[in-house]
Amino acid sequence: MSYQFELNQSNRSLRFPVILMAGIVCTVIAVYAFAACGDRNPDQARASEPVGSTTSTTVPVSTGSTEKPVSFEMADSAYREHRYGDARVLFKTYTESRPNNAWGFYMLGLSAWKSGNREQAESAFVQALTLDSTHVKSHLNLSRVLLESGQPDSALVHIEAAIALDSTSSEPLRLQGRAFEAQGKTDDAIVAYPARHREERQ
């Protein structure tokens, strides 16, 4: 019995150093993992660049007396936080240094549109499509901007391109219905709206 008591006593005296060491090891691992991950987050896939191009390239932005690098992630973060004016400025700077990046121009277009600058949005979506004519989202959002600007004929060109690229989506059909409606072609609009959308409008 006394032997067992002594064993428990020695185990108790070892508990504190073992717990302390485990805490230190966990803290070191957590700091290392945080440093290795950097600014990455799960939402990045939503609007990030294609896998083939890296987003670590930064460009300097003049902010008074200091220069601050702008990355795709930084500009996209401003967009996700609904700071569309900031995102527009950041994506403008980003695309100036990456003029061949369709995703950058697409996000510039979205940011400009959401901040109320339709002209810049239209220009950015056109540039994205110049770089990648198969970019369905640029076709769709450009058509939205054109519809808002009262240009249904021009919008239809991009809507039809989006339908040709992705015939399974109902979104281009809804936009086509809106464009036909704006042109006064009610019968064509009714046909274009997907059945589900017609039910929602009733």
Residue 121 is which amino acid? A
The confidence score (pLDDT) of residue 179 equals: 84
21, 47, 55 from 29: Cα distances, Å: 12, 30, 26
pLDDT in single tens digits along all 202 residues of the chain: 444 545 455 555 666 666 666 667 556 555 544 444 443 333 333 333 333 333 333 444 444 434 667 899 999 999 999 999 999 999 999 999 999 999 999 999 999 999 999 999 999 999 999 999 999 999 999 999 999 999 999 999 999 999 999 888 888 888 888 887 887 777 655 666 664 444 445 4
pLDDT at residue 194 in the model: 60
The label of the residue with tokens 């803290």 reads 27
User: Which DSSP letter does residue 169 get?
Assistant: -
How far is C-alpha 164 from the chain's CA centre? 24
114 and 84 Cβ atoms separated by less than 8 Å: yes
* Residue 58, Ramachandran bin (φ over 0: left; ψ between -120 and 50: alpha; else beta): beta
pTM (predicted TM-score): 0.62
Task: Give residue 5's pLDDT.
Answer: 46
**pLDDT for the residue numbered 16:** 62
- Who's near 27: CB < 8 A, 6+ residues apart? none
Per the CB < 8 A criterion, the answer to whether 121 and 145 are in contact is yes
